[in-house]
DNA sequence: TCAGGTCTGGAAACCGGTTTCCGTTAGGAT
DNA sequence: ATCCTAACGGAAACCGGTTTCCAGACCTGA
């Protein structure tokens, strides 16, 4: 039992003050209809006078619903996850829900227990890009229902919001190939990332389908620092264009290339992925694929909410779009074998 | 009462399975000592077999503590607030707490009700840079105790974590003055922002103290887009250096200056504020003042936690540090009147 | 005037835990 | 063998709400 002396005023206090039962106070507070107007007024007056606020905790326990949704992300420092958080926060707030955030710090082992723990306090769970291996994930999911996966495929009975990173990376590759590039360098992300696997698979396909295309795969990471630190290996790989795992990596790469004096895109083209807010403000502005990040969060929420309330979740993952900006250009060395002129400004392709 | 058929297993189920009372199960689950070893084993076995998880809700109600802390920020899209969120999340997770996030969307009117609502579900509240006017804030604070303010001064009885933005902006000004600049342009942030007021006041003081110093104040904003869009007015103001409200504004400014062909820092010096992760990867890398953002969140949590548990919150706001990078240089036009050479690399000032 | 239906609002059970209080039992001391 | 005490664990109260169930008041129609 609480050791607290209970400073807060409870429904019993209001009932006493209004000279009615606790049940009646509850009815009034929740707008149940069968209460006489004068009693309603009396209760409201008492509640106002005492500045009464019903305990959400007690309500939740009694109602069996918390109006909270848990969100688990690998890394709160990543703009992609931040935007998803924003999307979920604002969309769910509209339905009276609040978001509880948890971060696994990219640690696959910690993920399961954090997920369970966070889920216990909420009505549902959204896991973004879980790094958990497949068996563990399959074992975890039933325990945290209702659950929604973002950027990770689960079993059929678990719904998910998926970005087709395979297609996204292929858009980038096709763009670069059209510019004449034939030897690309791919900077890979975390090995545990499912979306990284999607990218790699798409690259395999592209390499088979496009004759003459070579792709050098380098382990890199997901952060600016990773991109910044990869420059030497990138240059050693002697490609004419770099496909970075995401915009952050591309950002770090660009910064370092600028320092060592490699001209982008004249000597080397660079592409990102996600189109985080900063991408169009990079120098040069970054060619990337727009992944509608906030929308992703909103969609995840909508589907989850629909699943909770029994409705069906309308809406679909918004389309990807290649945004051609100033960081990509024709393959250097040869003339203008490419028929099109690339806008150097901040065109929104 | 819950309409749910109660699929979840409760302490009563475990008690029945282990043939003990609910009280004993509770004692075992919480490691109370006065339980015989064989009974402990029996209860544990039953709990494991049933895969029992105590309801956090019921625990919280009974214990009177939720182990959750609410965080209210004006804008989840801002890296500064994101980092503070990270700091709070990781620091509080270590103490078994979870963070509930709420966003006011820069709407002062919504802030009070959101704060109250979020606070009700948690043990405490952290408000970052509240945009609420002074009277409303003073009225709100007593209702949401225990509460912690970040980047906003409250009444003496409400503790807060404050960054001395006045001093920070002065560091920047002094740096620019030392480089020979005498006519500065300040890009102001949101009017409702207390930290913006601190900056403005410090600029007044600087203008009085430093003879020959002129500062042109322009309304701008807090986002990249705001900075990007301010370039024309900045150039029209004919200063030799720009003090941006924060790094984001500086970023937008730099991007546009690069487009219109204004050389930084040769023709115009630019400074930011906060030192967000991207600042040193800007082109040119951005001179700014490092505000230890994560530390801010951690400190806010530590103080709050101390206040809750009765201990005293050790630790102080970490120091500010000017990071001189490549976006600032001597006043253009005249020779090297400044004795020092500025490192063009990514020196960590 | 009386039977029957409709409103109202109180008593009590319930959500799922924790803790106080107390009775029982076992063990040690005398 | 008897008494005292410590250890153990069950019954019940409690946290602060919501909801079912039911009794009484009131109104209506015959």
Q: Give the domains, in start order, of chain A with CATH numbers.
A: 11-54 (1.10.260.40), 62-162+295-309 (3.40.50.2300), 165-287+324-341 (3.40.50.2300)
Residue-wise pLDDT tens digits, B72-81? 998 888 888 8
Q: For B152 and C6, how far is CA from C1' in angstroms?
A: 58
Q: How high is the pLDDT of residue A173? A: 95
Nearest CA in chain A to B252: A281
Q: For B258 and C22, how far is CA from C1' in angstroms?
A: 81
User: Residue A67 burial by CB count (10 A; 0-12/13-18/19+): exposed, middle or buried?
Assistant: middle
Q: How high is the pLDDT of residue A226? A: 95
Report helix, strand and coil shares of chain B as percent, to nearest 5. Answer: 45, 15, 40
Q: Are A296 and A147 in contact (CB under 8 A)?
A: no
Region B327-337 average pLDDT? 72
Instruction: Return left, alpha or beta for B12; rule: phi > 0 is left, psi -120 to 50 is alpha, else beta.
Output: alpha
Residues of A in contact with B76 (CB under 8 A): 82, 85-86, 89
Q: Which residues, including other chains, have CB under 8 Å from residue A247's CB and lie 6 or more apart? A: A79, A272, A273, A274, A275, A276, A278, A279, A286, A288
Q: How high is the pLDDT of residue B313? A: 64
Q: How far is CA B288 from CA A9, A258, B201, B230, B322, in A?
A: 49, 20, 19, 19, 6
Q: How high is the pLDDT of residue A342? A: 38
pLDDT (tens, 9 = 90+) of chain A, 349 residues, equals: 433 444 678 898 888 888 888 888 888 888 877 788 888 888 888 889 888 989 999 999 998 889 999 999 988 888 888 889 899 988 998 888 988 988 888 888 889 988 998 898 899 999 998 888 889 999 999 889 889 999 888 898 888 888 899 999 999 999 999 999 999 999 999 998 889 999 999 999 999 999 999 999 999 999 999 999 999 999 999 999 999 999 999 999 999 998 899 998 999 999 999 998 889 998 889 999 998 888 889 999 998 988 887 776 677 777 899 999 999 989 887 544 443 433 334 434 3
Please give the Cα distance from A321 to A291 (Å, whole number). 7
Closest to B98 in 3D by CA, of A8, A136, A116 = A116
Count CB-CB contacts under 10 A for residue A4: 10
Q: Name the packing angle between helices A11-18 and A37-50 (round to 10°).
A: 120
Is A112 an interface residue toward B (CB < 8 Å)? no
When CB atoms are compared, the residue of B64, B83, B277 closest to A224 is B277
Residues of A in contact with B85 (CB under 8 A): 76, 101
End-to-end CA distance of chain A: 62
Q: State whether the beta carbon of A56 lies below 7 angstroms from any atom of strand D.
A: no
The pTM for the full model equals 0.84
Decide: helix, strand or coil at residue B70. strand
Region B322-336 average pLDDT? 81
Task: Tell me how close the Cα of A80 comes to any Cα of chain B, in angstroms.
Answer: 11
Give residue for tokens 């509850």. A26
The answer to whether the Cβ–Cβ distance between B61 and A63 falls below 8 Å is no
Q: State whether the beta carbon of B10 lies below 7 angstroms from any atom of strand D.
A: no
Q: Between chain A and chain B, how many beta carbons pairs sit less than 8 Å apart?
A: 138
Region B141-153 average pLDDT? 89
Please give the Cα distance from A151 to A192 (Å, whole number). 12
**Residues A34-54, buried b or exposed e (16+ Cβ, 10 A)?**
ebeeebbebbbebbeeeebeb
Which positions in strand D are less than 7 Å from the protein's CB atoms? 7-20
Report helix, strand and coil shares of chain A as percent, to nearest 5. Answer: 45, 15, 40
Region B210-231 average pLDDT? 93
Q: For B54 and C17, how far is CA from C1' in angstroms?
A: 8
The answer to whether the Cβ–Cβ distance between A121 and B277 falls below 8 Å is no
Q: Are B113 and B279 in contact (CB under 8 A)?
A: no
Task: Tell me how close the Cα of A217 comes to any Cα of chain B, in angstroms.
Answer: 24
What whole-number percentage of chain B has pLDDT above 70?
92
Q: For B19 and D1, how far is CA from C1' in angstroms?
A: 35
Please give the Cα distance from B330 to B178 (Å, whole number). 8
Please give the Cα distance from A132 to B141 (Å, whole number). 42
Q: For A258 and D17, how far is CA from C1' in angstroms?
A: 62
Q: How high is the pLDDT of residue A4? A: 43
Nucleotide with minimal C1' distance from the CA of A8 is D16
User: Residue B67 burial by CB count (10 A; 0-12/13-18/19+): exposed, middle or buried?
Assistant: middle
Q: Are A271 and A288 in contact (CB under 8 A)?
A: yes
Q: How high is the pLDDT of residue B234? A: 93
The answer to whether the Cβ–Cβ distance between A100 and B99 falls below 8 Å is yes
Is A8 an interface residue toward B (CB < 8 Å)? no
Q: Which residues, including other chains, have CB under 8 Å from residue A9's CB and lie 6 or more apart? A: A50, A51, A52
Residues of B in contact with A51 (CB under 8 A): 143
């Amino acid at each position: 039992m609480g050791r607290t002396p209970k400073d807060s005023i409870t429904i019993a206090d209001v009932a006493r003050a209004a000279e009615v039962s606790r049940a009646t106070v509850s009815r009034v507070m929740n707008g149940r209809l069968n209460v006489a107007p004068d009693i309603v007024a009396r209760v409201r007056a008492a509640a106002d006078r005492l500045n009464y606020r019903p305990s959400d905790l007690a309500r939740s326990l009694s109602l069996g619903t918390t109006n909270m949704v848990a969100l688990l992300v690998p890394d709160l420092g990543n703009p992609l996850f931040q935007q998803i958080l924003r999307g979920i926060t604002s969309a769910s707030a509209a339905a009276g829900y609040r978001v509880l955030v948890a971060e696994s710090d990219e640690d696959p082992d910690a993920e399961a227990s954090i997920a369970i723990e966070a889920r216990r306090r909420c009505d549902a769970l959204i896991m973004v890009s879980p790094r958990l291996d497949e068996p563990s994930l399959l074992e975890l999911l039933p325990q945290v229902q209702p659950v929604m996966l973002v950027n990770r495929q689960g079993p059929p009975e678990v719904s998910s919001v998926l970005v087709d990173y395979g297609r996204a990376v292929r858009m980038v590759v096709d763009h670069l190939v059209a510019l004449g590039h034939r030897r690309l360098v791919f900077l890979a992300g975390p090995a545990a990332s499912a979306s990284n696997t999607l990218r790699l698979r798409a690259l395999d396909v592209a390499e088979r389908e496009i004759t003459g295309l070579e792709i050098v795969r380098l382990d890199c990471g997901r952060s600016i620092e990773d991109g910044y630190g990869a420059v030497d290996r990138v240059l050693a790989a002697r490609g004419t264009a770099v496909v970075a795992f995401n915009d952050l990596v591309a950002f770090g790469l660009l910064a370092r290339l600028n320092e060592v004096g490699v001209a982008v895109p004249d000597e080397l083209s660079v592409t990102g992925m996600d189109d985080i807010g900063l991408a169009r403000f990079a120098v040069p502005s970054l060619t990337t694929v727009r992944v509608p990040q906030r929308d992703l969060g909103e969609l995840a929420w909508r589907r989850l909410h629909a699943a909770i309330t029994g409705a069906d979740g309308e809406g679909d993952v918004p389309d990807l779009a290649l945004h051609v900006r100033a960081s990509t250009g024709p393959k250097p060395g040869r003339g203008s074998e490419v028929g099109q002129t690339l806008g150097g400004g901040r065109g929104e392709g």
